[in-house]
Amino acid sequence: MKFLTLISLAAALILSSCQLDPASETYTNVVIPIDTRTVPGTGYVDVPLSIYAHAQLPNGCWSNIRFFFQEKEEYLYELFSLADFNSSTGACPEVLVTGDTLLVFEPKAPGDYVIVTWMSPTSNELDTIKVEVITPEK
């Protein structure tokens, strides 16, 4: 009987000394959805255009929301957003994490500019900006 009591006591002592931290996950540069964007339908050569983008994430484990607008080819641009995720504390605070940006784009030639907005690593949505040359009035 004393043997079982000693084993139970030793097991309890050993298990109580272990740190049973919750699992943590850390990810950087995760593509996150852009939930709102405003892309003008028309524009003019050498006249700046404003493109607005907004992203929202569901909890406080997310941070560092940032937006990127890159030229991929002539007349083809990509708009995407990245964020970091860290759950090292084990629980994510119940707070919305948001970010937004106002990008300035100045087309240099007339034509149809396609903006590819990445909504996830595998899905995107397209917007087209028709850019014309300003003609002087006579």
Range from 18-22, 73-77, 107-111, 120-124 carrying the lowest mean pLDDT? 18-22
pLDDT at residue number 138: 54
> For the chain, what is the mean pLDDT?
87
CATH number belonging to domain 24-132: 2.60.40
Selection from 49, 63, 121, 119 nearest residue 92 by Cα: 63
What tens digit of pLDDT does each residue of 10-58 get? 455 444 444 445 568 999 999 999 999 999 999 999 999 999 999 999 9
Mean pLDDT of 77-86: 97
Share of the chain above pLDDT 70, in %: 83
Structure tokens belonging to residue 44: 């003019």
3-state secondary structure 58-82: CCCCEEEEEEEEEEEECCEEEEEEE
* Domain ranges within the chain, ordered by starting residue: 24-132
